[in-house]
Structure 1
Amino acid sequence: MTTGTASTQAYEQLARDLTVGRYAPGSRLPGERELATQLGVSRATLRLALSRLESEGILQRSAQRGWFVPTQVIGEPPSTLQSFTEMARARGLRPTARVIRQEVRPAGMDEAAKLRIAPAAPVIEVDRLRGMDGTPVCFDVVVVPENRAAALATADLTDASLYDVLRERCGIEVHRSAYTLMAESADAELARLLGIGAGAPVLVGDEIAYTSDGTPVLIGHNKYRGDAYRFEADLFRRA
């Protein structure tokens, strides 16, 4: 068998294994020596197959840690405001949320200005680790004025959609969001929460959400894994 034929067969077998879910999104493949033995090829031949899968975006390589299956990338449809839960379900994925912090505290000066409330007025802060199909994807911090959503302080937000809770328990319907996005590197604590390496890229989104009458009801600060989130938008030139 020629090297090219062996490489093609190894590529096809690995592609089948990945298609049927033998290796889950975010997981690491066995070491090259073990994988080559399983497929009955040399390591040089295996690397040709792995490199082909990498070029197609099916695998990712880490020089220190080996070969990984990319996590499923989520993204906002152009010009559509969706909650994290809605994004996950639209892709057939199971959204999860682990509450890390849920408390009432005084608003900071910047928060008060954005929410149009008095400085030090009570706000509810909710910090959650959001995931999809068991994979951590986002660390999410939300701040809401207590006088507009008091029920949020005691609501069960584990695996819940915040937009749904605001609508059903507080009578608040989010209409639009002013959103900014930038790139950062994960610090040690964020890396631990998201299951990535310290210094890995993350996308940081800051938002102010409004009701249809223009009242600000929510400040959001979201940090997404850089390999798991894509933001899309329709852009138009002025006439």
Structure 2
Amino acid sequence: MRPKTDLMDITRAPDASDGPQYIALRDQIALNIEMGRLKPGTRLPSERQFQTGTGTARGTIREALFLLEAEGLIYRRDRSGWYVSPPAVTYDPTRWAGFMTYVREQGRKPGTETLHKHSVPASSGLADIFRVAPGAPLHVIDRRRTIDGRPVLVERITVDPALAPDLLAHSLDGSLTHILTTVYGVTVTRNRVDMRPCALVRDAADGLGVKSGTPGLLVVRTSFDAQGRVVEYDQEYWRHDAIRVHVDLTVRP
């Protein structure tokens, strides 16, 4: 019985007459994804199955798969194989809408797991950001966020205890934005966002269950209140295929 997505089609030898074989294999898999023949979450054949079906060297197959991964079309699950990536969520860095809110708005199911929460003395770098003395206590929260059950980012959030004194006593598996707004009356009026490509290594790779060196996106957000005080300093390590940055700006003459 043939599977609905007809995986046999992508393990046949691709037409490499117009270029390198790994590009031809990449194009063959990408076309099946774009045409909807390979649905999000579909597990791809193993490298051995590709090798048997196409007669292609394993190194060539890996080049094609790594290229598709870099493009965000497929991803690896540790010790499980390659899968078609689900649709990315749209992220607007100009909003202070929390992760839980904007993921739900897009019809997806968000999840949050607190990994650690503790008070730490401010390093010189954090002291400069928060304008406090080095060694002053700061709240630090490490969390893992999921979309439809799939881990997509790990984050480290630093908050000034002067604005949210007993924050660590709260459950932080939900919306931190909601807690800051409703419990402490903290309103953010300005965000500064920096983004750059990165490799997911060490804690970020472990937290997301990916191989060290997997492509990622680092989003660093500094949030300010109306008095110019830093409310929150957030370092987010995203799977690069899970997020699409979108900003809609009005151009003024």
Q: TM > 0.5 between the two?
A: yes
Confirm whether residue 122 of structure 1 aligns to residue 154 of structure 2: no
TM-score in terms of structure 2 length: 0.69
| Count of residues in correspondence between the two structures | 208
CA distance in structure 2 between the aligned counterparts of 1:59 and 1:29, rounded to whole angstroms? 12
Contact 1:142/1:218 (8 A) holds in 2: yes
Distance 1:118 1:59, change over 3 A: closer
CA RMSD of aligned residues (A): 3.5
Residue type matched to 1:72 in 2? P
Quote the offset at 1:104 in angstroms.
1.2
CA distance in structure 2 between the aligned counterparts of 1:169 and 1:59, rounded to whole angstroms? 41
CA distance in structure 2 between the aligned counterparts of 1:142 and 1:201, rounded to whole angstroms? 22
The SS at the match of 1:150 is: coil
CA distance in structure 1 between the aligned counterparts of 2:225 and 2:189, rounded to whole angstroms? 5
Residue type matched to 2:207 in 1? L
CA distance in structure 1 between the aligned counterparts of 2:142 and 2:179, rounded to whole angstroms? 15
Q: In structure 1, what is the equivalent of residue 43 of structure 2? A: 28
Contact 2:73/2:241 (8 A) holds in 1: no
CA distance in structure 2 between the aligned counterparts of 1:235 and 1:224, rounded to whole angstroms? 24
Q: Which runs of 5+ in 1 are unaligned?
A: 1-5, 19-23, 36-41, 45-50
Among 144, 148, 151, the residue aligned to 1:136: 151
Distance 1:80 1:187, change over 3 A: same
Q: In structure 2, what is the equivalent of residue 72 of structure 1? A: 87
The SS at the match of 1:103 is: strand
Q: Deviations over 1:13-68 (max 9, x none)?
A: x94673xxxxx63x523548989xxxxxx956xxxxxx9xx8xx995388xx8652
TM-score in terms of structure 1 length: 0.73
Q: In structure 1, what is the equivalent of residue 239 of structure 2? A: 225
Q: Deviations over 1:83-102 (max 9, x none)?
A: 21122111111211111110
CA distance in structure 1 between the aligned counterparts of 2:228 and 2:38, rounded to whole angstroms? 51
Confirm whether residue 184 of structure 1 aligns to residue 198 of structure 2: yes
Matches within 5 A, 1:33-182: 43=53, 60=74, 67-77=82-92, 79-158=94-173, 160-182=174-196
CA distance in structure 1 between the aligned counterparts of 2:252 and 2:160, rounded to whole angstroms? 36
Residue type matched to 1:201 in 2? P
Quote the offset at 1:78 in angstroms.
7.0
CA distance in structure 1 between the aligned counterparts of 2:97 and 2:49, rounded to whole angstroms? 43
